[in-house]
Chains A and B, each alone.
Chain A
């Protein structure tokens, strides 16, 4: 996938967690995702239209609980009814905010899905096998997590995204 599509996600991650969970996120340099880096809680949003693929928020259990609690304003644990809802909505906002910056592309997002299970991986079937899946490592006062983006643009873009000038911290 074209790395210029990563910056909209970097900006979206910072904005969503700061606004909704009162948490500043430090974003490290994106890298190719490794299938061995599993996680315990995933919030998944699919893309369709001029770009297809998925955005996956991948958390260790403790970090997911802390961030979901900070977002919801009440303590949430994995077994709570609203836990998956909170993680799904965070994924929805990150994907929605990022896709708003894909200038010239008409992209729709799916309803969120949340996967819970120790050290799992999420497969993205819309991604061609030779397309790299990128990982955006994130850290904050509540712990580390990462966001994976697997995206294929189906339409030739007329111009780069406006957000492409603001890079991740390396």
Chain B
């Protein structure tokens, strides 16, 4: 499974990568903003995306909306400091499948990834 991490903080991407590695996911791609992520998405078609909200060049919500115009299926998890209910609703309406608020524990991130993938698997079968 190819997983794309989209966050302008390399430290956060490294932490996410470590958690994913412990879950057995090793095919990881990284992007530092929405524009970079969109280009990488077109080239590689990942199976899951973790997307930050506040980033330079293109923010996460714009990225999610742009991808959802043509791809209704790819699972996307928003991972952000934006914790207000209004923001969560905005992200879900834009098309994210799940939401992780920073700061997060490794357990929370693992749980949300597994939950998202299980839901999609159940919907397929």
Grouping DSSP codes into helix (H, G, I), strand (E, B) and loop, the A interface class, with mixed when no group exceeds half, is helix
Contact with A along B72-107 (1 / 0, CB 8 A): 000000001111101000000000000001111100
Q: What's the least CB distance linking B58 to chain A, in Å?
A: 13
**Which one, A71, A85, A93, A100, contacts B84 given CB within 8 A?**
A100
> How many A-B contacts at CB < 8 Å in the complex?
59
Q: How far is the CA of A71 from the CA of B18 in the complex (A)?
A: 13
**Using a Cβ–Cβ cut-off of 8 Å, how many residues does chain B contribute to the interface with A?**
22
| Smallest Cβ-Cβ distance to A103: which chain B residue | B84
Q: Are B83 and A100 in contact (CB-based, < 8 A)? A: yes
Grouping DSSP codes into helix (H, G, I), strand (E, B) and loop, the B interface class, with mixed when no group exceeds half, is loop
Interface size class of A (residues with CB under 8 A): 20 to 34
Cβ–Cβ < 8 Å partners of B104 in chain A: 19
Stretch of B5-13, B38-46, B61-69, B114-122 that contacts chain A: B5-13
Q: What's the least CB distance linking A96 to chain B, in Å?
A: 2
Q: Are B14 and A96 in contact (CB-based, < 8 A)? A: no
Contacts from A to B (Cβ < 8 Å): 15-16, 19-20, 71-74, 81-82, 85-86, 88-89, 92-93, 95-97, 99-100, 106, 109, 111
